[in-house]
Amino acid sequence: MRGRWEAAVVALVLLGGCKDDNPGLALGDSPSNVIFPISKVSYNNQIQPLFNQTCNNIGCHDDGAHPSPLKLTSYDNLMFELPGIVIIGKPDQSTLVLRIQGTSGNRMPPTTNKLNDNQINGIRTWIVEGAKNN
């Protein structure tokens, strides 16, 4: 019983800094205006701006004091700080994709403001295309 309680406390601490800054959005509406092309996805033009609007500006994956070890503030942080977040060429094995789809662990972002299909598919395409710093 104690292990479950400790796990629940850890989960609350990790998610505690994440808040819903866009409570007026309906489930499935993205708080971001970033639109991804079908191919030739750019980290600098689509990926990082999406992270800036949905992940690292609400106290979760920024460079601040939030306890999450994943910082989505730069290409290097995304690609090199934690193994397995992005596995080049393999979106279905990349933790980033599994979490934004909600197919493994808690869906991210953990609010009603999930990424839309265009954004999720855009991240998948970027990984398939080599996850370049472009």
Distance CA 14, CA 18 (A): 8
Identity of residue 130: G
Collapsed DSSP state (helix, strand, coil) of residue 115: coil
Helix (H, G, I), strand (E, B) or coil at 74: coil
Q: What is the mean pLDDT of residues 69-82?
A: 92
In the chain, what are the domain boundaries?
A: 2-128
Please indicate whether residue 76 or residue 60 has the higher confidence score (pLDDT). 76
Distance in angstroms (rounded) separating the CA atoms of residues 11 and 79? 24
The model's pLDDT over 14-71, given as tens digits with 9 standing for 90+, comes to 333 344 343 333 334 556 789 999 999 999 999 999 998 888 766 788 777 677 789 8
Two structure tokens written together for 111: 């609010």
For the question of whether the overall pTM of this predicted structure is more than 0.85, the answer is: no
84 vs 106, higher pLDDT = 84
Q: Please state which of the ranges 1-5, 82-86, 121-125 shows the lowest mean pLDDT.
A: 1-5
